[in-house]
Amino acid sequence: ILFQIFDAFKSRLHDSNSKVNQIALETLHKMIPLLKDNLSPVINMLIPAIVDNNLNSKNPRIYAAATNVIQALCQHLDNYLLLQPFCTKAQFLSGRAKQDMTERLA
């Protein structure tokens, strides 16, 4: 059921309405400490949704919210779960998002 919930939630992280996108990121930030490693089945789906558009967003609120989500993931999940998706993203991103993901990996 967790997969079904996050599959639907993922589209809000890509929403064209910046307010919806920002609220989705802020909500995810609040959910991470509660779910912790229980997010492992959906982490490979979530990280691209969080990172792809949001870490390169020109909207400072969306960028800040995405950065907060990445930070919360690093604080509350086993780093082993994050290593592969972070490496994959760092490899194929550009700009500020690539720099942010590379710093997280380091």
Q: pLDDT tens digits, residue range 93-105?
A: 999 999 999 999 9
How many structural domains is the chain composed of? 1
* Global confidence as pTM: 0.94
Q: What is the mean pLDDT of the chain?
A: 95
Q: pLDDT tens digits, residue range 6-16?
A: 999 999 999 99
H runs (alpha helix) in 1-106: 2-10, 18-35, 43-51, 60-76, 79-92, 95-105
Question: Which CATH number covers residue 97?
Answer: 1.25.10.10
Q: Which domain holds residue 88?
A: 1-104
Amino acid occupying residue 57: S
Locate 25 and state its tokens. Answer: 């990121």
